[in-house]
Structure 1
Amino acid sequence: MNGLCDLEVDVNGEQIFFLHKNIISSYCGKIRNLFDKSKGVTTNLKVILHDFPGGPESFELVSRFCYNNGKVVINPYNAHRLLCAAYYLEMNETVNGSHNLLEQTKKSIEEIKFWSWSELLSALKSSLDLVLVSSSSQILKKCLDSIVVRLVFTSETSPSCPSSSSPESSVIRLSTDSKSTESLRSGLLRSTWWFEDLVNILTPNLVKLLVNSIILHKFDHGVTSRFLFYYQKSRFFDASSDEKLEIIETSIDCLSLLDQISVSCKSLFGILRVALKLNVNKVQRNILECMIGSKLDQATLDNLLVPSPHGSNYLYDVNLVLQFVKHFLTAKSGTGVVISELNKVARLIDSYAAEVAPDPRLKPCKFLALINALPQSTRDSYDDIYHAINIYLQVHTSLSDDEKTKILNSLDYMKLSSESCNHLTQNDKLPPRFAALALKAQQCKLENLFRGLEGQKGYVLPPHQLVATTKDDERREQVVIYAQQVVPYEGKEDIVHENEKMKAQLQGMQWRVVELEKVCRNMQTQMTKILKSKLSRQTSVKSLPRLCS
């Protein structure tokens, strides 16, 4: 055996192969070059290969190729190993007229489009320990591209596949439309059938390559985002802390590459809570905050109630919500603001402000920043803001007059309802001058209303008046004093009488509006019946046999 096998090859310190020097060196340029440098040495030949791709299993395939006169069966299960080994051993020369291993392997990989789905998966599995080898990148890219092409083809040929323009719309429809439940569920299964096949194979690095290929081939971004969320949850079960961090950061990076319309806001908040626990780096956190901020109008109050960071003495992370609002305004400033979206966010922030207001450790500057985070034009009503302010002032009784003034100056008194204004005038926690501002705002709204009615049925605009409806006589006097400073107190007519007349006028208008609405509904019902009768007559005429028409 020693006479025939004159070469000892140590592969990565894992296994030793005894081979014939001339046979191996004739095909492997790297080993041949080693012998050329050590001329004169003919005995005890030993070669140590470090970091050989694929280890002993791949080297055994190479040995069989050499001993079989440059012939080997190349298939999807070994192509990756053979390609990396051929690069490593410099097997790029033709011997005895046969093609070299590198050329044969490349030619086989060109046929990857004819590989079956299971063969593609096997090729991916065999590449897991070769990802760091630069020569493996080309087959990895071809394999992933071929997988994405298959996914694109199946999505185009599968009927009844629901649209993914809204990632949460299909879930809503599944729960509301019983007739289409079965077809939608089967459509979702058709679009996600590949999740389980890939989730246990792909490393975070391969996920990045897959998403890049998906974007290149314009595969469905909605399905892709669902896969990324599924991948993150599935791989977390048996992952270490470092692996979880790599998975979550990869998921964030990949989600940011997709069309954000196709990414679920609810799922992003799920990613956020995990990311905060793992303490992801600032880059990925900022990316995630931007994505959530851009679709803040889709969020709910529960989504925003994120606990404060560890070590903080306040309950909820108000700074995080302020960042969301900032990113929302930035995103909408570039694409054009939709009023309905702004109104939704305003209502959401108002509810959030009322929720965090009872926190005794929430500083006035943070609360003030929260209620002023959105422009005044985004709110049709300031009742919710007043409600939040009232709660905050009740809890934070030690605030200075200056701090109270800054907070109360954030109110737009013209957008307070009469109920809120009445409550404000009776709120003994507030300085009287703010009750006077509320009264002034109410007076202005009434004047605007009566200007619109002026001239109808001989109505005359009432005099400029203010009314303080408080239970405490002493506070009423203070409110009236401040009110007289805001606007002159004019007229000597009976205030109560004028108010009753005003209420009667408004009630009369409301009654007439209700009557008009009833008349309109009756007319619409009659028109609908007439149209239906006409259509039925036309249909019956058209359906008659030709001889009878």
Structure 2
Amino acid sequence: MLGAPEKLSTLFLGGQITDQLINLLSYREIEELLPKMSDSNRNNNNNENQNLISVSSEPDLHINIKGVPFHLHKEMIAKRSSKVSLLLERNEMDELRLILRDLEVETEAFELVARFCYGLEVRFSSDNIVSVLCIAYYLGMNEEQSSDNLLRKASEFLEQRVFPCWNETVNALRSGDKSLDKLADVGLVDLFFDSLIEKASYDPRLLGELVKNREEESDDYRPNPRRRLFVKDWKSEDLITIPLRLYEPLMIRAIKSRSIPVEYIVLSVCKYAKKWVFDAEESQLGQRREVVEAVERLLPHPRGLISCEFLFESLKHSIWLEASSECRNGFGIRISKQLDMAKSTDLKILSQGYREKAESFEDIELVKTVVMSFYSYYANEDSEDVSHFEKVAKLLEEFLFLAASETSLKLEGFVELAEITVTISQGILTYSDGIYKAIDAFLESHRYLTESEKMEVCKVLDCNKLSQEGCEQAAKNQRLPLRIVVHVLYVSQLQIRDTVAKEIKVIGEKVDEDEEEEIGVSSDEDEMEKMSSKLLGLEIENHECVVHRWKKTKKKKNKISVWTQVKRKFGCLTSSSSSVDACTCDFKKKKKKHHHNK
């Protein structure tokens, strides 16, 4: 078994005793090894070493900190701590164990406190400084007990080495999470919050990089060199790593300060939700519920500040996690304000299953709820701007097409969603081409449907609202039921008839208004020939009538040819002439009469 010198050789590095010294060596061994410490350590702690040697050689205070035994000397601890000194006077040393248990002291932090009591070197860091401060505060290791006290040393380290640096501050806040609750009356938490907000106000990018600004980066924001203290390759610690009970009040204070752009606040909150809700383990149900409710409280309400994708994800999770009604309604209200800004892929989130079923269409009830909420919100607005409704109508058509391509979408679900889309587009969109394309996509992805089921799908299609291009495509679509194709052909005939009639009317009006101007007959003839070809191709019933009207118009136009104008100038065509045949030139050469003088 190793003796004291051998133990020291395994723990000694660079002339200093490591942190495990107090746990592994008894006081007698420490007393024997003190002369063997480095000269620097012995000089720095000369007075403490003298006091150390004068006490009893046997440890008389035995404490277990989370299963780790500590064998210490009451006198050494009492000399540094007013609380231990008082307990020792009252013979109530058992109370010390209760104090340490209530503080939830970590073994590493208590080891540093014990080392300080023995006059050994103590190395602070952002990982342990808050815990050490907490122990020193509750044990009364202050100026009243000793001029060289632990509370002062730890406070100086926090002020000079932690608060000037963003990374160290975040790390200390995260590591000292449990201890900070015990220091609420001291105001230490407020100091941490103020320090972080001040730094984020100077450089908001510490909260994260905005995606839209990545291509527009400038040198306006540069990390303060003080923040890079002790960090070789500077990279900001993320606030989303701290627990919710610290993160939420910190963000509330940051919002109230108005010194940090709200876009960066939103960015940080969204990242926090992704880490602790979207990507968290399913087993952490209660924690995820608390986080999603806190996220809803922190997010601002003005439209456009939060992406629709994030809002849809949050609403989906809040429902699945059974969050409070205030939380669910809060996300719903934000969505209703900016549904017109969403994309079809964003809307798809609401109809998908959860977790392992995320790729399948479960139902569309949530989609219906969101759309109704949108119309309820804007129905109360006194604005005449209908652009919001147009965008939502087009959004639903795009979403219907996207959903139709999914084989997991059932017939009943598609029909219900299509009916909602048709209702939304009434009076808003001129054509129903989007509905037709969605029906075609659904028939393509569900080829097993019977003829009657196809008719059920197509019942939402208003063929009369198909554009001419839509009619041409539908007339050739073999996936559509025959009755629908016939109806489309009929609508196509009516559309072309109306188009031809309008063109003839326009031409007639133009002729009447401009009889004195030259009209290019040949180009009009080509136009009318094309229309006639269309009519013949589609076998329009009133083809002969339309062609007859065209010929009549053509005949009328021929009256006003260039030659007619020339003849009128020559005086060969009177204003009362009604036909080309009436234009007979009675031009007679008058013989010149020569008078000869006889």
TM-score band, normalised by the shorter chain?
0.5 to 0.7
- Residue 27 of structure 1: how far off its partner (Å): 4.8
Q: Could you say which residue in structure 1 is the equivalent of 2:307? A: 264
Residue type of the alignment partner of 1:385: I
Q: Could you say which residue in structure 1 is the equivalent of 2:416? A: 368
Distance in structure 2 (CA, Å) of the matches to 1:204 and 1:119: 19
Instruction: Find out whether 1:184 has 2:231 as its counterpart.
Output: no
- Residue 154 of structure 1: how far off its partner (Å): 2.9
Distance in structure 1 (CA, Å) of the matches to 2:429 and 2:242: 47
Instruction: Find out whether 1:213 has 2:253 as its counterpart.
Output: yes
Distance in structure 2 (CA, Å) of the matches to 1:294 and 1:501: 58
- CA gap of 1:302–1:23, structure 2 versus 1, over 3 A, is closer
Q: Is the 1:322–1:370 Cα contact (8 Å) retained in structure 2?
A: no
Instruction: Find out whether 1:250 has 2:315 as its counterpart.
Output: no
- CA gap of 1:457–1:241, structure 2 versus 1, over 3 A, is closer
Q: Flag structure 1 segments of 5+ consecutive residues without an equivalent.
A: 175-182, 461-467, 481-491, 505-549
Query: Percent same amino acid among aligned pairs?
Result: 21
Distance in structure 1 (CA, Å) of the matches to 2:358 and 2:112: 60
Where do 1:128-527 residues align within 5 Å? 128-130=177-179, 133=182, 135=184, 138-155=187-204, 169-170=212-213, 174=215, 184=217, 196-198=236-238, 201-218=241-258, 219-228=260-269, 242=283, 246=287, 250=291, 253-254=294-295, 257-259=298-300, 261-265=304-308, 280-281=321-322, 294-306=337-349, 307-309=352-354, 315=361, 318-330=364-376, 332=378, 339-357=386-404, 359=407, 361-364=409-412, 366-373=414-421, 374=424, 376-392=426-442, 395=446, 396-397=449-450, 399=452, 403=456, 407-408=460-461, 411=462, 413=464, 415-421=465-471, 428-430=481-483, 456=509, 495-497=545-547
Residue type of the alignment partner of 2:73: L
Q: Deviations over 1:219-248 (max 9, x none)?
A: 223233444555677889997554699579
Q: Flag structure 2 segments of 5+ consecutive residues without an equivalent.
A: 1-54, 229-233, 514-533, 555-598
Residue type of the alignment partner of 2:435: I
- CA gap of 1:52–1:437, structure 2 versus 1, over 3 A, is farther
Q: Is the 1:10–1:46 Cα contact (8 Å) retained in structure 2?
A: no
- CA gap of 1:99–1:366, structure 2 versus 1, over 3 A, is farther
Distance in structure 1 (CA, Å) of the matches to 2:309 and 2:396: 17
- Residue 382 of structure 1: how far off its partner (Å): 1.9
Q: Could you say which residue in structure 2 is the equivalent of 1:516? A: none
Q: Deviations over 1:263-296 (max 9, x none)?
A: 33456678889x69x9644557776666556544
Tell me the TM-score normalized by structure 2.
0.54
- CA gap of 1:372–1:78, structure 2 versus 1, over 3 A, is closer
Q: Deviations over 1:293-351 (max 9, x none)?
A: 65443443444455545679965764454454345445555676853343333223212
Where do 1:63-74 residues align within 5 Å? none
- CA gap of 1:99–1:25, structure 2 versus 1, over 3 A, is closer
Q: Secondary structure at the match of 2:410?
A: coil
- Residue 149 of structure 1: how far off its partner (Å): 1.4
Q: Secondary structure at the match of 2:460?
A: helix
Q: Could you say which residue in structure 2 is the equivalent of 1:19? A: 73
Q: Secondary structure at the match of 1:372?
A: helix
- CA gap of 1:80–1:341, structure 2 versus 1, over 3 A, is same
Q: Secondary structure at the match of 1:15?
A: strand
- Residue 372 of structure 1: how far off its partner (Å): 1.7
Q: Secondary structure at the match of 1:262?
A: coil
Q: Could you say which residue in structure 1 is the equivalent of 2:575? A: none
Tell me the TM-score normalized by structure 1.
0.57
- Residue 406 of structure 1: how far off its partner (Å): 5.6
Q: Is the 1:314–1:362 Cα contact (8 Å) retained in structure 2?
A: no
Q: Deviations over 1:443-474 (max 9, x none)?
A: 99879979x979955889xxxxxxx989999x
- Residue 355 of structure 1: how far off its partner (Å): 3.2
Distance in structure 2 (CA, Å) of the matches to 1:185 and 1:285: 39
Q: Secondary structure at the match of 1:349?
A: helix
Distance in structure 2 (CA, Å) of the matches to 1:124 and 1:204: 12
- CA gap of 1:155–1:390, structure 2 versus 1, over 3 A, is closer
Q: Choose 236-245 or 324-333, whichever is displaced more.
A: 236-245
Residue type of the alignment partner of 1:297: D
Residue type of the alignment partner of 1:388: A
Q: Is the 2:463–2:487 Cα contact (8 Å) retained in structure 1?
A: no
Q: Secondary structure at the match of 1:381?
A: coil
Q: Is the 1:383–1:417 Cα contact (8 Å) retained in structure 2?
A: yes
RMSD: 6.1
Q: Could you say which residue in structure 2 is the equivalent of 1:52? A: 103
Q: Is the 1:301–1:351 Cα contact (8 Å) retained in structure 2?
A: yes
Residue type of the alignment partner of 2:202: F
Tell me: higher relative CO, structure 1 or 2? Use CA pairs within 8 A at least 6 residues apart.
Answer: 1
- CA gap of 1:35–1:497, structure 2 versus 1, over 3 A, is farther
- CA gap of 1:28–1:97, structure 2 versus 1, over 3 A, is closer
Q: Is the 1:304–1:321 Cα contact (8 Å) retained in structure 2?
A: yes
- Residue 432 of structure 1: how far off its partner (Å): 9.2
- Residue 417 of structure 1: how far off its partner (Å): 1.9
Residue type of the alignment partner of 1:364: E
Q: Secondary structure at the match of 1:16?
A: strand
Q: Is the 1:308–1:314 Cα contact (8 Å) retained in structure 2?
A: yes
Q: Secondary structure at the match of 2:198?
A: helix
